[in-house]
Chain A
Amino acid sequence: MDPAKNNQAVKVIKRIAGILAIPVLCFGIMELVCIANGITLFNGGYSTLQLFLRGTTFVFLLSLGVSINMHTGRFDFSTGAVMLISGVIGAKVAYGLNLGPAGMMAVAAVAGLVIGGLVGLLYILLKLPPMIIGLGMALILEGVVAIITDGCQPVKFGTDTSYYSFTVNPVALLILMALGLGVMLVIFHFTKFGYDYRALQTGQKIAVNTGVNEKMNALGCYIIAGFLFGIAGALSICSTNGTTPTINFSTIGTMFSCFLPLFFSGFIGKFINKQVAILLSCISYEFIQIGFGQITFKNAAFTTEIRSVVEAVILVAFLIYLNNEVKIVEVVMFKKFREKLKAKKIETADPEG
């Protein structure tokens, strides 16, 4: 066999293994844990699959949006607030005008786009750290939500079940995912905006010195992220058949819920396109979520608190792995020991040398 071809095949296998490792591991581990608790991961069949798809779609849209700014070093604390306000606007307008769930998604997406743009505009005009702008805007947007909901009154859909049904409709969810993925792939891989983004991501100063318009790029990032947050916000409200908005920085935590899939994508992204890596990470993450749901359904002792600690431990463990990959591989493969052994063998074989 041609060694070049052999090498190529090994590379492909390695790549496929890298791409699938996390999803397969997550599925396998959660399935085993579920079985140990007397249930299966997809217990409930089609209905569980519907919830799996819904969860994946939500976290995928959120992760895509957060990744845009986070991967350029911008932490936007207003993420949750943009989601909430867009979703609420979408729900109020769509329910009021009888636009249905698809209309709600569209209105929320536009609202998110505009509000995200507003946050971005403030960022580029005031030239303040994104964390500051995010914090300030989270306060302001939460306050505005309280005003438009007449003091945080519940936002509901009455007897109209189409909004909830939309969130368990696999076709609708797949369309939303495809829309998110498509927008991201086209914008970030086939436009000048995308090239500029990556130039700014890897070398801000050099990119600006070579003529990249950083301000417009940053504004664009906030607009695209807002668009995705808008849809995610609408989906979130529909999936609980309404919402009661809360303020006082309660929206800040939303952003953190996609950290685990984003860190998963850091690993998968070494083998495949970033956006697809995020999708696979979100699928993996949802295996964990559905698994937790099944375990709590069967085992009441597995409370929300225990679940958050377990999730945090997974996140820390994965972070430790990502940041110490070389050292860990060395330890696992006994690399240093083998090197020493090799050195010793050479020494013994050629004591003169």
Chain B
Amino acid sequence: MAAQIKKEAVLDETALRKKAIIKQRIISIIPLIACLILAALYLIFASIKGYSISIGLQTIISDATLVALVATGATFIFTSGSFDLSLGSNMLVSALLGGLVGSATNSLVLMLLTSIGVAVLLSVLNSTLASVFNLPVFIMTIVMMSVYGAVATLILTTLGKNAQISVPMALVEPLNTTWFRVILIVGYELLCLFLFYILKLGRQQKFLGGNPFCAYLSGIKSKRLTIISFALAGIGIGLAAFSMTVQTPTLSASSGSSVGMNMLIALVFGGMTMSGGPKSKMYAALLGAFSMSFLDAFMNIFVSGSWYLQIVKGVLFIIVVFLINMGNKVKLLER
């Protein structure tokens, strides 16, 4: 009798566990489902309306590329429990200096290298300042956001013409194609996936983000790892700066202005946890960036006022994060 009860209890527990695993799996694929639904909605309605799907998809790719490049790099930062709000202004400074070098030398390679170099340098500067002086990274990046913004304006007013820096269209025109953008994002994404999932770097970052104290006790050098995370994010920012210059070679203070914040939304849309740690996903940024672009494209079919789109984005943003976090039974409120 007792054995039977025990057996039944074990069966119940197994069923419950199975149920919980299924639930968890369903929750984990919500961002993918959301992206697919948005893509399907866009494709269906664009077809019904007789819109050009090919041009529409090209726009979506170019729209998503910038955000995805920055957000994918930022995933390294977020995974290890850090935060950076200065990515957008870092991208602008990198693009401006890259653009100046590009137009002075007429070399795309030098433009690319400058953009990446400056972005990595500024990104590492953030983390180094924070590490060396024991400053909260979040605050540090907010301060640096305004510093980089001011530096960008100074560059534009002192070295630009009419507060703009122009790279010759003829120089960037050959690369201003959807294929180039696809290659760029796929290449960077594969590199990041490799670093994150194949090498121990990703596991260390997850460990550091999940439990910094244990990570320290296990011999993980948190400062070094944080600096590496910021440097990798810098590569993504540099690529985004380059991609932006290729697409729109006249750079001004507003270039890429919304990327910094859209990157955050994309990460969350893609299922990335803001606190980092073991649940972090490298592909979340790409998924989120495309979800946002499909949503924008879908909304553009019906709504022309940007503020309605903004409200819908805000509501969806909260709903998606809520759905993703549904499985987490937390007693305490998140901070």
Contacts and interface: CB of A to CB of B under 8 A. Distances in A.
B135 A140 contact: no
B11 interface: no
Given A312-B143, A324-B133, A128 B321 contact: yes
Contacts of A137: 314, 318
Nearest to A215: B333
Interface stretch (A28-36, A228-236, A302-310): A302-310
A256 B310 contact: no
Interface string A160-198: 000000000000000000000000000000000000000
B264 A147 contact: no
B147 A308 contact: yes
A140 B64 CA distance: 22
Contacts of A39: none
Interface stretch (B30-38, B201-209, B211-219, B300-308): B300-308
B146 interface: yes
A252 B261 contact: yes
A136 interface: yes
B310 A305 contact: no
Contacts of A104: none
Nearest to A307: B150
Contacts of A129: 274-275, 334-335
Contact of A138 (B134, B275, B314): B314
A247 interface: yes
A154 to B, nearest CB: 16
A323 B129 CA distance: 12
Given A132-B268, A132-B274, A308-B149, A249 B258 contact: yes
A247 B332 contact: no
Interface in B110-126: none
Interface in A120-168: 122-124, 126-133, 135-140, 142-144, 146-147, 151-152
A211 interface: no
Contact of B307 (A123, A208, A247): A247
Given A75-B138, A136-B318, A315-B143, A143 B308 contact: yes
Contact of B310 (A126, A133, A139, A309): A139
Nearest to B275: A129
Interface string B233-276: 00000000000000000000000011001001100100000110
B307 A140 contact: no
Contacts of A214: 332-333
B333 A139 contact: no
Instruction: Give the interface residue-count category, chain B.
Output: 35 or more
B150 A139 contact: no
B26 interface: no
A42 interface: no
A308 B146 contact: yes
A256 B318 contact: no
A256 B330 CA distance: 30
Interface string B293-335: 0000000000001111011011101100110010010111111
Interface residues of A, number: 53
B333 A127 contact: yes
A127 B334 contact: yes
A48 interface: no
Contacts of A215: 333
B318 A126 contact: yes
A239 B129 CA distance: 37
Given A143-B314, A259-B142, A324 B134 contact: yes
A169 B146 CA distance: 32
A62 to B, nearest CB: 15
B88 to A, nearest CB: 10
B151 interface: yes
Contact of B333 (A124, A142, A247): A124
A135 B274 CA distance: 12
A331 interface: no
Contacts of B318: 122, 126, 128, 132-133, 136-137
B305 A140 contact: no
Contacts of B16: none
A248 B325 contact: no
A296 interface: no
B334 A130 contact: yes
A6 B22 CA distance: 71
B335 A256 contact: no
A132 B320 CA distance: 11
Interface string A87-122: 000000000000000000000000000000000001
Interface in A52-111: 72-75
Contacts of A143: 307-308, 310-311, 314
> Which 6 residue pairs are nearest across A and B when measured between Cβ atoms?
A139-B314, A146-B307, A143-B311, A140-B314, A73-B335, A136-B318
18 contacts: A127-B328, A128-B321, A132-B318, A132-B321, A136-B315, A137-B318, A139-B317, A147-B308, A147-B311, A151-B305, A214-B332, A252-B261, A259-B143, A308-B146, A312-B143, A315-B143, A319-B139, A319-B143
Given A143-B310, A143-B311, A308-B149, 17 more contacts: A129-B274, A130-B335, A131-B274, A137-B314, A139-B317, A140-B315, A143-B308, A146-B310, A147-B307, A204-B335, A249-B258, A256-B146, A308-B150, A312-B143, A319-B133, A319-B140, A319-B143
